[in-house]
C-alpha cells in the first residue's frame, strides 16, 4: 500500500513537471523556403511527428533582440512625388512631400499623415496643405523576417489650397482621397524598406463661389523605417 502510494505520488509529480515544462517550450524558425523550415528547439523532436504550435501576436511584450528578430510595431515614412512637363505653350511642375507615422498589427496598419503639395502651371505655384490618415491591409503579414509586403491601401486628407497672387490669391478647402495598392521591399534583411504606391485620386475643392471635383491616377514612393 505504501509502495503503491509513493509510486502514485511520484507519478503525479513527474506528470505535472513534464506538463509544465512541455507548455513552456518554444522553438525558433531559423530558415524558411516555401513550406519547409529549419527550426531550433530546446526539447528533442522526432522526425515525422506532427506538433501543434501557438504563435505570439506582435502586440505582446516580446523581446525581439533576444529572439534574433526585428520589431515592426511602429513605422515612419517620408516620401512623395515629382513631375516636370514642358511643351508648346504649356508648362507644369508639381511635387509633393508626405510624412507618415503608423502602427503595425501584422495584417492591418494605420496611422497619421501630413502632406505639402505644390503645383505650378507657369503662372505661380498653388500650394496644398493636408492632414489626414492612411490604412493598409497586408495580404502578407508584416512580421520579421518577411522581406516583401503588398496589399490595398486608402488615404484621406483634409486641408487648404493657397493660390498665387497671379490667380487672385485667396484660399480654398480641399478633400483629397486615394484608393489603390502598395508594394514594400525590405532592404537586405534590415528594418528599412522602399514602398511604392499606385492609386486612384479624387479631390474636392470648395471655394465661396463653387465646388470643383477632380479625378485621376497617381503614384508615390516612400522610404520606410520600422521600429
Q: Between 16 and 183, name the one with better pLDDT.
A: 183
Cis peptide before 145 (omega within 30 of 0): yes
> What is the DSSP pairing of strand 74-87 with strand 108-120?
unpaired
Quick check: 199 pLDDT over 50? yes
Q: What angle do CA 201, 199, 93 make, to 5 degrees?
A: 65
| pLDDT at residue 57 in the model | 46
pTM value surpassing 0.85: no
Q: What angle do CA 225, 177, 134 make, to 5 degrees?
A: 30
Quick check: 26 pLDDT over 70? no
Domains and CATH numbers, the chain: 2-41 (no CATH), 74-226 (2.40.160.20)
Quick check: 223 pLDDT over 70? yes
Quick check: 139 pLDDT over 90? yes
Cβ neighbour number for residue 33 with a 10 Å cutoff: 7
- CA–CA separation, 207 and 167 (whole Å): 14
Amino acid at each position: 500500500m505504501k509502495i503503491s502510494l509513493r509510486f502514485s505520488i511520484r507519478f503525479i509529480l513527474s506528470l505535472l513537471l513534464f506538463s509544465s515544462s512541455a507548455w513552456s517550450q518554444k522553438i525558433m524558425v531559423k530558415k524558411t523556403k516555401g513550406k519547409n523550415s529549419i527550426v531550433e528547439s530546446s526539447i528533442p523532436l522526432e522526425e515525422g511527428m506532427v506538433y501543434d504550435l501557438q504563435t505570439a501576436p506582435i502586440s505582446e511584450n516580446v523581446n525581439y533582440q533576444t529572439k534574433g528578430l526585428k520589431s515592426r510595431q511602429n513605422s515612419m515614412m517620408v516620401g512623395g512625388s515629382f513631375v516636370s512637363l514642358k511643351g508648346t505653350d504649356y508648362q507644369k511642375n508639381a511635387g509633393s512631400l508626405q510624412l507618415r507615422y503608423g502602427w503595425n498589427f501584422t495584417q492591418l496598419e494605420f496611422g497619421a499623415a501630413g502632406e505639402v503639395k505644390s503645383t505650378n502651371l507657369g503662372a505661380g505655384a498653388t500650394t496644398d496643405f493636408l492632414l489626414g490618415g492612411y490604412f493598409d491591409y497586408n495580404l502578407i503579414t508584416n512580421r520579421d523576417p518577411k522581406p516583401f509586403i503588398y496589399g490595398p491601401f486608402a488615404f484621406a486628407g483634409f486641408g487648404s489650397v493657397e493660390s498665387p497672387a497671379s490667380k487672385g490669391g485667396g484660399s480654398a478647402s480641399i478633400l483629397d482621397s486615394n484608393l489603390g495598392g502598395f508594394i514594400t521591399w525590405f532592404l537586405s534583411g534590415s528594418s528599412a524598406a522602399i514602398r511604392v504606391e499606385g492609386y486612384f485620386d479624387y479631390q474636392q475643392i470648395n471655394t465661396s463661389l463653387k465646388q470643383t471635383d477632380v479625378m485621376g491616377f497617381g503614384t508615390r514612393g516612400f522610404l520606410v523605417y520600422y521600429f
